[in-house]
Amino acid sequence: MSAAQIEFFFQTLRSANPTPVTELEYTSVFELLAAVLLSAQATDVGVNKATRRLFPVANTPQKIVDLGLEKLESYIQTIGLFRSKAKHLMQTCQILLDKHNSVVPRSREALEALPGVGRKTANVILNSAFGEATMAVDTHLFRLGNRTGLAAGKTPLAVELALLKRIPKEFLVDAHHWLILHGRYVCTARSPNCKACAVSSACNFADKLG
């Protein structure tokens, strides 16, 4: 994908959705962190159903700890891997209480030191909560980077670095939301809807289809 095509790609996505946001539901940085922790190998819809039950009861590190592991599991048991996620969330809450005065840290190093928080999760928090130009490469971004020709790479980190290098600065803060939504609803894994795609003219995959 050329520089001109990349410019067109993101201008088009921005025109269709000027202020993209995550589909996870949250009202605080901690709620976002908890929701992202629960979202690994789960849908945002499924996570939102669980957090709608959990957050009215416990939506701070102290309240989660007070809830206890068994009770926490009961609120999120509809989510895949709920036992390990509950354990990680409980451990994370204790660290936030002990080391960060219950405040979610703003540094990548501190975020990635939390149980269950890897680079992708840290990038989501840094971007969605703190407005940093990070790129959280999930399955959608990895697929789009390679399929479209926007940013090819054999690993999520390679795609992340390529995206950060190739996407114009004016689009960087919102780019990961646009790409996730595009991959979720248009450029899907098994049957990309190229005929309905507004950016297909800039896409290597659509071009190969003729």
Q: Amino acid identity, residue 140?
A: H
**pLDDT score at 65:** 96
CB atoms within 10 A of CB 127: 21
**pLDDT score at 115:** 94
Distance of CA 208 to the CA centre of its chain: 29
- Are 38 and 117 part of one and the same domain? yes
* 138 catalytic per annotation: yes
Q: Considering the candidates 66, 120, 174, 195, report the single residue annotated as catalytic.
A: 120
Instruction: Name the packing angle between helices 3-16 and 169-185 (round to 10°).
Output: 70
CB 163 within 8 A of CB 150: yes
pLDDT along the chain (210 residues), means of 10: 93 94 93 93 92 96 95 93 94 96 95 93 94 92 93 94 95 94 92 91 74
Q: In CATH, what number is assigned to the domain containing residue 138? A: 1.10.1670.10
- Are 37 and 118 part of one and the same domain? yes
pLDDT in tens, 82-91: 999 999 999 9
- Are 199 and 140 part of one and the same domain? yes
Four-CA torsion 196, 158, 79, 91, nearest 10 degrees: -150
Q: Residue 41's domain spans which residues? A: 29-129
Q: Considering the candidates 63, 66, 138, 165, report the single residue annotated as catalytic.
A: 138
DSSP single-letter state for residue 167: S
* 44 catalytic per annotation: no
| Residue that finishes a domain, picked among 129, 146, 171 | 129
DSSP string, 108-168: HHHHHTSTT--HHHHHHIIIIIT--------HHHHHHHHHHSSS--SSHHHHHHHHHHHS-
| Residue that finishes a domain, picked among 89, 113, 129 | 129
Q: Which residue has the tokens 């709608």?
A: 52
Number of domains, the chain: 2
**pLDDT score at 42:** 87
- Are 163 and 198 part of one and the same domain? yes
- Are 42 and 113 part of one and the same domain? yes
- Are 44 and 72 part of one and the same domain? yes
- Are 148 and 123 part of one and the same domain? no
CB 15 within 8 A of CB 7: no
Model pTM score: 0.87
